[in-house]
Amino acid sequence: MVCAVPALADLAHGFTDLAGAGFDFSEQKSYPPPAPNYPVDISFAIVVDPPLGPMLATWWGSHILAVPDTLVEDITTAPEDVGFYHLDAVPVYNRAYVFKTGDGFYVKFAFRSEFSGDAIIEYFVQMDGTNNLRDDMVPVRPSTWGAVKALYGQ
C-alpha cells in the first residue's frame, strides 16, 4: 500500500447567524429561541440585566474556549480536556474560538460580523470525532504499487 500523508480531516465548513437563534454544530442547523427547548450547542444573546452586553452561552454539555491573538485558520487541534473550556464567552469580532459539543464534536469558529443586528460566524466542524481541526491537508486514498504503475502505463 502506498500512502505518504494522512487522510484529509473531515471538516464541515459553513457560516451561520447566531442572532436570534441557537445552533447545533453536528447537524449544522439553526433553531429558534429559547435554546434549552432545542438540541443546540451555542446561542448568542445581548444581556441587559445585569448589563453584560453580547454573550455566548453553551448548552447540553457543550464547552467553549476563546483563543485570543490567533487566527481561526491557524488552529490545528482542540484540547480534549474540558478543564480548558468554559460555559460562556464574550464574543469578539474576528477572535478565534474552539468548541467541544456535548455529543463529542470539535469545532473552531470566528465571528465575521460586528454585532450590528447579526452575529455571523464562520465555523469548521470535525465530523470524524477527533480533535484534528486542520483544514489544509491534501486528501489521499489508499493504493497499491501496481495501481500507481498503471497510472504511468508501465
AA identity, residue 70? T
Give the range among 1-10, 48-57, 68-77, 92-101 with minimum mean pLDDT. Answer: 1-10
- What is the pTM assigned to this prediction? 0.78
Instruction: Give the domain ranges of the chain.
Output: 11-151
- So what's the pLDDT on residue 145? 63
- Taking only the tens place, the pLDDT of each residue in 12-28 is 999 999 988 899 999 99
The one-letter amino acid code at 61 reads G
* Bond preceding residue 34 cis, omega within 30 of 0: yes
Whether the pLDDT of residue 11 is over 80: the answer is yes
Give the per-residue pLDDT at 8. 46
pLDDT at 114 over 50: yes
Inter-residue contact 56 to 64 (CB < 8 Å):
yes
Confidence at residue 146, expressed as pLDDT on a 0 to 100 scale: 63
Q: Nearest to residue 111, comparing CAs of 13, 32, 4, 15?
A: 15
**For residue 113, how many C-alpha atoms fall within 13 Å in the half-sphere facing its CB?**
14
